A and B are shown apart, each in its own frame.
Chain A
């Protein structure tokens, strides 16, 4: 299985500032995703990070607030912009590798250790 690392593991930030979270995978993967888990809640997909093109955002999430980059098949960043206390969450990177010819199969999805963000 893919090994995923995230930086930072946690941070405490001031209102109005921005934080960039990095996600590094030890192998090339087709799909990368960013999820948010608010305190005591389930996981919600923010966006799909597309290599070489703009990310695809889910309803309720916009690029100005959560800009995403994916320069290659092993790395992605998520920025949480102009933060407010409501942004306090765990942000998780997820990867899925569906090799060509898999017939549309969805492979296992693995998650990084998460970045625990607290906004004061």
Chain B
């Protein structure tokens, strides 16, 4: 079975603080993909990153960075110097490759609500 756990339901920080959102996943597939999405109050889902299971290199994009560790089945997301505009619900998701009957389907975590206060 595939599962994604985001244990942090809500996080509140003050602007300019760094914040890390945790994501732990479960899958029996050897090839899989991990995603992060942002859902601001307006409701649309914004794609942030996709990472495949063979690439454990950390990724940095501006103030965003991602730490993928297969040994702990985690794919954590860090926002550096947070800003008020970062306030949103963040979802971590998992998808298997075409080798699995679950290809393309995203299994979402429950989401973490991030509030950045001025």
Contacts and interface: CB of A to CB of B under 8 A. Distances in A.
Given A45-B106, A92-B45, A106 B91 contact: no
Contact of B105 (A33, A104, A114): A33
A42 B108 contact: yes
A44 B4 CA distance: 12
B35 A109 contact: yes
Interface residues of B, number: 25
Interface string B92-110: 0001111100011111111
B52 A105 contact: yes
A81 interface: no
A43 B89 CA distance: 12
B58 interface: no
A114 B44 contact: yes
A48 B106 CA distance: 11
Nearest to B45: A111
A31 B99 contact: no
Interface in A61-99: 90, 92, 94, 96, 98
Contacts of B33: 106
Q: Of B47, B105, B109, B110, which is in contact with the most chain A CB atoms at under 10 Å from its CB? A: B105
29 contacts: A1-B47, A33-B104, A33-B105, A33-B106, A42-B91, A42-B109, A42-B110, A42-B111, A43-B108, A45-B105, A48-B104, A92-B45, A96-B104, A104-B31, A104-B97, A104-B103, A106-B96, A106-B97, A106-B103, A107-B50, A108-B47, A109-B35, A109-B95, A110-B47, A111-B37, A113-B44, A114-B44, A114-B45, A116-B43
Interface of B: 31, 33, 35, 37, 43-45, 47, 50, 52, 91, 95-99, 103-111
Interface of A: 1, 31, 33, 35, 41-45, 48, 58, 90, 92, 94, 96, 98, 104-111, 113-114, 116
